[in-house]
Amino acid sequence: MKIVIFGLSITSSWGNGHATTYRALARALRARRHQVIFFERNAEWYRSNRDLPEPSFCKVHIYEQWDEVLPKARKEVCDSDVAMVGSYCPDGIAAIEEILTSKAGVKAYYDIDTPITVAQLRSGGAEYLKPHHIPGFDIYFSFTGGPMLRELETSFGAKVAVPLYCSFDPAKYRFAPVRPEYACDFSYMGTYAPDRQAKIEKLFCTPARQLPAKRFLLAGPQYPEDLRWPQNVKHIIHLEPRFHASFYSSSRMTLNVTRREMVLAGYCPSVRLFEAAACGSAIVSDSWPGLETFLMPGKEILVPGSWRDVVHYLSEMEEAQIRRVGRNAQQRVLAEHTAEHRAEEFERYVEHKPTKTAASASAEVEKLTTASS
């Protein structure tokens, strides 16, 4: 198949989780002999921080303005088997309107930010997607499963909304030798977000203050300069994806914190969750509806009730038990959440133009998840 994608970025992972998602999916699709073409606006933020400027697994068109790239985009879309626009695409509205009037075989939307998108759709629409666009797509792929899929169909007219969760590339995310610069008792990786910061203070900074002899490591950009971290917290402003496996493998435990809209929606795992699990790191996570359908609390992931539980994990939990939690999570995601799994799901949906409803799609996913666990 020829697959044309208009997205936020595939060349730069700086400050966004879209790039690693697109990379994993595109790489897996290319391995299955599909042709992937990606259109990305040359935004200043990403232009200055490209960690994969020329992916070997897809053709990337970097452009300055939509009008200048339109003839090329129109030509690529015209004979494509699948034309897809992703959430937060800077020229999302123009790209959507171009695709919906094209001869593309399958017209798809990939929402990597479904809870945020739906919240804005309820108020009239997002800057990258309007409610009247949704019925025009053959498939609405969503990072979020569960009840939100039904809302996309019943409230906004999606023909079919199905989960296409984030994934990881097992060749990139796996056990790696411990690196001294990343060796720590507890780590966290994530871009600053105001609605996550209270949980980071509670589940990361408070344990750090309670355990001054232990080492804490935080990686991520955009944190306010006036934030004051505990003395035993080291902050890395940005960590390129090629170092992620070493980062997680060098952590005794790592923290996963979910944004407010994702918590409210439920069934919305982050790409960092799967990547950390793939590296065998024991994950400590906040709680959200549907978490147990991806990783089983107590067996494959640790879900604290308070910062005191985190202190208990770090100071009293036996090393064998910590490693066992990490291994269990690793086995689970390797069995269900690799990029190869997502590519297979993508193929199945676009080749058969599904007609099942979101409710039945969610039920099938839950059934498969339960059976595998």
Structure tokens at 70: 């339109």
Q: Where are the domains of the chain?
A: 2-167+338-372, 184-336
Q: Are 237 and 173 in contact (CB under 8 A)?
A: no
Q: Are 163 and 140 in contact (CB under 8 A)?
A: no
At 102, give phi and psi (nearest 5°).
-95, 180
Residue with tokens 């595998």, as numbered in its chain: 372
Residue with tokens 């991806």, as numbered in its chain: 294
Q: How confident is the model at residue 365 (pLDDT cuts 50, 70, 90)?
A: very low
Q: Are 249 and 176 in contact (CB under 8 A)?
A: yes
CATH number of 2-167+338-372: 3.40.50.2000
Please check the confidence at residue 203 and state whether its pLDDT lies above 70.
yes
> According to the model, what pLDDT value does residue 354 have?
60
Domains 2-167+338-372 and 184-336 share a fold: yes
- Looking at 148-152, 231-235, 368-372, which range is the least confident one? 368-372
- Which neighbouring-strand residues pair with 38? 5, 60
What is the dihedral angle through the alpha carbons of 224, 226, 230, 232, rounded to the nearest 10 degrees? 70
Please check the confidence at residue 366 and state whether its pLDDT lies above 60.
no
Q: What is the 3-state secondary structure (H, E, C) of 75-93?
A: HHHHCCCEEEEECCCCCHH
Backbone torsion region of residue 314, taken as left when φ is above 0, otherwise alpha when ψ lies between -120 and 50, otherwise beta? alpha
DSSP percent split of the chain into helix, strand, coil, nearest 5: 45, 20, 40
Q: How confident is the model at residue 237 (pLDDT cuts 50, 70, 90)?
A: very high
User: Which sign, positive or negative, has the C-alpha torsion 230, 233, 238, 244?
Assistant: negative
Q: Are 145 and 359 in contact (CB under 8 A)?
A: no
The per-residue pLDDT for range 311-339, each reduced to its tens digit, is: 999 999 999 999 999 999 999 999 999 99
> According to the model, what pLDDT value does residue 355 have?
58
Q: Are 169 and 294 in contact (CB under 8 A)?
A: no
Mean pLDDT of 81-110: 98
The answer to whether domain 184-336 has CATH 3.10.129.10 is no
Residue with tokens 């060098």, as numbered in its chain: 250
Mean pLDDT of 55-62: 97
Please give the distance of CA 45 from its chain centroid, rounded to a whole number: 20
Q: Whole-number mean pLDDT of the chain?
A: 93
Q: Are 244 and 173 in contact (CB under 8 A)?
A: yes
- Please name the residue ranges forming H helices in the chain: 18-31, 44-47, 66-78, 92-100, 114-121, 147-154, 194-200, 206-210, 244-249, 260-265, 271-278, 307-316, 319-336, 339-352, 358-372
